[in-house]
Amino acid sequence: MCDTFSLPFGYNEDNVTYFAKNSDRSPNEPHVVIHVPRKNHPQGSTVSCTYITIPQAENTHEAILLKPSWMWGAEMGVNDAQVAIGNEAVFTRTKRGGPALTGMDLLRLALERADTAQAAVETMITLLETHGQGGNCGFDHPFFYDNSFMVADPKEVYIMETSGKNYAVVRAQGQCAISNRLTITTEHQHRSGIEERADFSKRYTEPVYSFFSAARERRQQVMDRLSPSLKTADLFGILRSHEQNVNGREFTRGSVKSVCMHGGGLIGDHTTGSLVAVLRQNKPPTLWCTGASTPCISAFKPVFFGSDAPPVFTSPEQSKDYWLQRERLNRAAIAGFVNPAVLRERIKTLEANWLIREQTIMNDDVPNANGMQTLSREASTQEQALVDKFSAPNWNNLTGRGSYGKYWRKKNAVLG
Task: Find residue 169's DSSP bridge partners.
Answer: 160, 190
Instruction: Give me the half-sphere count of Cα atoms (radius 13 Å) on the Cβ side of residue 304.
Output: 21
DSSP 8-state assignment for residue 335: H
Amino acid at 306: G
Which of 77, 62, 403, 6 lies closest to 239, judged by CA? Answer: 6
- The answer to pTM > 0.95 is yes
Per-residue pLDDT at 161 exceeds 80: yes
How far is the C-alpha of 257 from the C-alpha of 386, rounded, in Å?
A: 29
DSSP string across 253-278: S-BTT-SS-B-BTTB--EEEEEEEEE
DSSP string across 96-127: P-SS-B-HHHHHHHHHHH-SSHHHHHHHHHHH
b/e for 165-194, b at 16 or more Cβ within 10 A?
A: bbbbbbbbeebbbbbbbbbbeeebeebbbb
For a pLDDT cut of 70, what percent of the chain falls above it? 100
Convert the pLDDT of each residue in 38-50 to its tens digit: 999 999 999 999 9
- State residue 35's pLDDT score: 98
How far is the C-alpha of 407 from the C-alpha of 416, rounded, in Å?
A: 14
Per-residue pLDDT at 230 exceeds 90: yes
Residues 204, 92 contacting (CB under 8 angstroms): yes
How far is the C-alpha of 71 from the C-alpha of 109, rounded, in Å?
A: 13
Per-residue pLDDT at 307 exceeds 90: no
Amino acid at 413: A
- State residue 185's pLDDT score: 98
Average the pLDDT over 262-283 and give the result. 95
Answer yes or no: 289 catalytic. Answer: no
How far is the C-alpha of 66 from the C-alpha of 323, rounded, in Å?
A: 12
- State residue 96's pLDDT score: 87
Which of 239, 347, 364 lies closest to 298, judged by CA? Answer: 347
Average the pLDDT over 180-197 and give the result. 97
How far is the C-alpha of 319 from the C-alpha of 315, rounded, in Å?
A: 6
How far is the C-alpha of 337 from the C-alpha of 251, rounded, in Å?
A: 12
For a pLDDT cut of 90, what percent of the chain falls above it? 95
From residue 64, alpha-carbon distances to 78, 179, 192, 233 in Å are 6, 22, 31, 21
Task: Find residue 31's DSSP bridge partners.
Answer: 68
How far is the C-alpha of 75 from the C-alpha of 36, rounded, in Å?
A: 15
Per-residue pLDDT at 97 exceeds 90: no
Per-residue pLDDT at 416 exceeds 90: no
Q: What is the largest CA-CA distance in the chain?
A: 60
Average the pLDDT over 399-411 and give the result. 90
Catalytic: which of 2, 49, 176, 260? 2
Per-residue pLDDT at 400 exceeds 90: no
| 401 confidence band (pLDDT: 50, 70, 90) | confident
Contacts of 135 (CB under 8 A, 6+ apart): 50, 51, 98, 99, 100, 101, 102, 144
| Strand ranges in 175-250 using DSSP code E only, listed in sequence order | 176-178, 190-192
- State residue 75's pLDDT score: 98
Q: What is the mean pLDDT of the chain?
A: 96
Q: Return the higher-pLDDT residue of 388 and 399.
A: 388
Average the pLDDT over 195-216 and give the result. 96
Neighbours of 18 (CB within 10 A): 26
How far is the C-alpha of 308 from the C-alpha of 315, rounded, in Å?
A: 12
